[in-house]
């Protein structure tokens, strides 16, 4: 698969989710995301309003994480967090699956939570008369799951009508990050109407391109700028 510079840019969800991120750092990240026209800029919930103000005139959407990074919050808390972030300007919601429930076979609980968060996001969209769709992505921490559990997560995500299934938070050392094998598995087990987001440990141009080749539609990374610069260097080297 040949990826153009514009395609690569539009696939990147640039992130600054580290706990020590300052207002200045978040502001700089948003300005870069806006300048480069990344798909989205992901910030912590406390910075959503700031990001929405800084990105108001650009094409880059504002994203945030819900139930991050463990996914063990109560469903009600996750729904409130999603709604609160949307009220303050978030356009994309990446929420963490309750991995323990999935591994225990509590599939109905997992489905009900996914569906509740999706409905909360969509209802807030309608309530606020938001012209574009609020995008929801469920983070499954694929590195903690068996192959059958990953397939079940895909099945439940499809039933819950999420927009994307995302590989990892990148914040759980036991789970690791995105792998090509997991991206391929997700892509095979999801309809084309649901996207795949590869995230966790993607820091180079080569890694990003491999994930897109494997079937990812979005790349979650804090190294978005470096990835684009690396792509330009590769393009120049081929001339």
Are 124 and 87 a contacting pair, CB within 8 Å? yes
Q: What is the mean pLDDT of residues 41-47?
A: 98
Q: What percent of the chain has pLDDT over 90?
A: 91
Categorize the per-residue pLDDT at 194 as very low, low, confident or very high, splitting at 50, 70 and 90.
very high
Q: What is the pLDDT of residue 234?
A: 86
Per-residue pLDDT of 134-178, as tens digits, reads: 999 999 999 999 999 999 999 999 999 999 999 999 999 999 999
**DSSP run (H or E) holding 157:** helix 147-160
- Interval 63-107: pLDDT, tens: 999 999 999 999 999 999 999 999 999 999 999 999 999 999 999
**Residue in the structure block whose two tokens are 């356009």:** 91
Describe the crossing of helices 107-127 and 75-87 by its angle, rounded to 10 degrees: 20
pLDDT at 195 over 70: yes
Residue 25: pLDDT over 70: yes
Neighbours of 23 (CB within 10 A): 10
Q: Which of 61, 137, 166, 182 is catalytic?
A: 166
Residue 110 has pLDDT above 70, yes or no: yes
CATH of 5-238, one of 2.40.40.20, 3.90.1150.10, 3.30.70.260, 3.20.20.70: 3.20.20.70
Task: Give domain limits for the chain.
Answer: 5-238
Q: Residue 130: pLDDT band by 50, 70, 90 thresholds?
A: confident
Query: What is the model's pLDDT at position 237?
Result: 83
Q: Is residue 28 among the annotated active site residues?
A: no
Judge whether 197 counts as a catalytic residue. yes
Does the pLDDT of residue 239 top 80, yes or no? no
Note the pLDDT of residue 40: 98
| Model confidence at 114: pLDDT above 80 | yes
Tokens, residue 121: 């996001």
First to last CA, the chain: 19
User: Please, which pLDDT band fits residue 238 given cuts at 50, 70 and 90?
Assistant: confident
Whether residue 1 is predicted with pLDDT greater than 70 in this model: the reply is: no
The 10 Å CB-count burial string (b at 16+, else e) for 1-10 is eeeeeeebbb
> Annotated catalytic residue: which of 13, 94, 163, 182?
94
């Amino acid at each position: 698969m040949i990826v153009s510079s514009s395609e690569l840019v539009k696939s990147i969800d640039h992130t600054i989710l580290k706990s020590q991120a300052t207002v200045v750092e978040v502001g700089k990240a948003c300005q870069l995301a806006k300048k480069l026209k990344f798909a989205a800029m992901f910030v912590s919930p406390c910075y959503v309003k700031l990001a929405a103000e800084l990105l108001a005139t650009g094409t880059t959407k504002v994203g945030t994480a819900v139930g991050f990074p463990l996914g063990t919050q109560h469903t009600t808390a996750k729904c409130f967090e999603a709604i609160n972030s949307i009220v303050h300007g978030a356009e994309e919601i990446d929420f963490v699956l309750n991995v323990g429930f999935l591994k225990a076979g509590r599939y109905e609980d997992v489905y009900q939570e996914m569906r509740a968060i999706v409905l909360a996001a969509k209802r807030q969209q309608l309530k606020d008369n938001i012209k574009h769709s609020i995008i929801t992505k469920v983070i499954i921490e694929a590195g903690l799951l068996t192959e059958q559990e990953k397939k079940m997560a895909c099945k439940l995500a499809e039933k819950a009508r999420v927009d994307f299934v995302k590989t990892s938070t990148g914040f759980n050392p036991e789970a690791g990050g995105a792998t090509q094998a997991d991206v391929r598995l997700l892509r095979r087990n999801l309809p084309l109407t649901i996207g795949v987001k590869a995230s966790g440990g993607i820091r180079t141009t080569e890694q990003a391109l491999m994930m897109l080749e494997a079937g990812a539609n979005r790349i979650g990374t804090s190294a978005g700028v470096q990835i684009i610069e690396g792509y330009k260097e590769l393009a120049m080297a081929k001339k």
